[in-house]
Structure 1
Amino acid sequence: MIRRLLAIAVATAGLALSGCAATVHLEAQPLANSEACAEVSVRLPDALGDLKRQWTDAQATAAWGDEAVVLGCGLEELAPTTLQCVRVGGVDWVVNDEDFPRQSLATYGRNPAVIVSVDTEVISGGDVVQALSAAVSTLEVTGACVDPDEATPVE
């Protein structure tokens, strides 16, 4: 009887351990140890659509799904750019499609900045930033995107 219970316990423990997701290895951003990034981190959602949040091993980082979405808080503020900038949930995001179908979105006019990498074959970048904007909106506002037609040229 004891052997049977021990065998069941070992089998159950094995099943429980095999269901655990692996930790995602990421690098922390330079300003990741800021209080602002800690505030963002505790406000991040447990899921983005059907993608569950995964464990990460670097401060102020997050990942959802099989690394379909990866976030890092703690970048230096972005310099002005000619890349597309969109406002979602009151937060300005610079969109970089250079590595399409992987899309990079970074906050603009926030200190520190947040960067998100999205596999657009799994989930849309728009859906991701919509879900993340509430958490990111806690960061200090230092500027905003402007319409390229209204921008003052730098000489």
Structure 2
Amino acid sequence: MTSSHRPFGLPSALSAAALLLTVAGCVPWDAGASVAVPSPPAAEAALCQALAKELPDTVAGLERTDPDPGSELTAGWGDGAIVLRCGVPRPEKMSDPKAQGVSANGVNWMLERPEGGGTRFTSVYRRTYVEVSLDERFAHDAGPLAALAEPVSATIPCALESEACS
């Protein structure tokens, strides 16, 4: 995992791993639970479909177990331990200059801790937003973000052609 760029004003000494050490909780989804499928515009949905084809079968040693309802816009590993949703709306918190973020293998992510618990990361500087929710097993491990960064980087281009995503 690299952390060459930290959006949202994070101190340079703060790494993704250190940030994750402070985060604990659980994802509000469990095995068999349903996950809201995003409704992005057609161009963004096409990017998400490309991402779906590149997602790994395992992340952090967990087998892929997609949530219900089945969709190319959602994916999961470990019966809800890791849940990805592609094409989500821009989080309101991205307008907050105090929002925290991390960089994992060249993809920048904004950190949120939803009221229901868990940790949620949303990609930034990309043509569509990719959200990854992690349960308490990953409170000290940025591995899932690092593992998902390559397919995100390969399929979801920078928001502006002249802009660097990381």
The alignment's C-alpha RMSD in Å is 2.7
- Alignment of 1:80 with 2:85, yes or no, is no
Structure 1: which 5+ residue stretches go unaligned? 1-21, 147-155
Structure 2 residue matching 1:87: 3-state secondary structure: strand
Structure 2: which 5+ residue stretches go unaligned? 1-30
Distance, in Å, in 2 between the alignment partners of 1:114 and 1:101 is 19
Q: TM-score, normalised by structure 2?
A: 0.64
Residue type at the aligned position of 2:61: D
Deviation at 1:101, TM superposition (A): 5.8
Aligned residues: 125
Counterparts of residues 40-119 of structure 1 (less than 5 Å): 40-56=51-67, 57-78=70-91, 79-81=94-96, 82-99=98-115, 102-119=118-135
Given that 2:51 and 2:151 are in contact with CA atoms closer than 8 Å, whether structure 1 keeps it comes out as yes
The counterpart of 2:147, out of the listed 118, 127, 131, is: 131
Deviation at 1:58, TM superposition (A): 2.7
Distance, in Å, in 2 between the alignment partners of 1:32 and 1:69 is 25
Aligned structure 1 segments of 4 or more residues deviating by more than 6 angstroms? none
Distance, in Å, in 1 between the alignment partners of 2:33 and 2:83 is 9
Structure label with greater radius of gyration? 1
Q: Which residue in 2 is equivalent to 1:11? A: none
Q: Work out the percentage of aligned pairs sharing the same amino acid.
A: 27
Q: Which residue in 2 is equivalent to 1:27? A: 36
Deviation at 1:96, TM superposition (A): 1.3
Deviation at 1:139, TM superposition (A): 0.8
| Counterparts in 2 of 1:53 and 1:124: CA distance versus 1, 3 Å | farther
Higher RCO (C-alpha under 8 Å, 6+ residues apart): 2
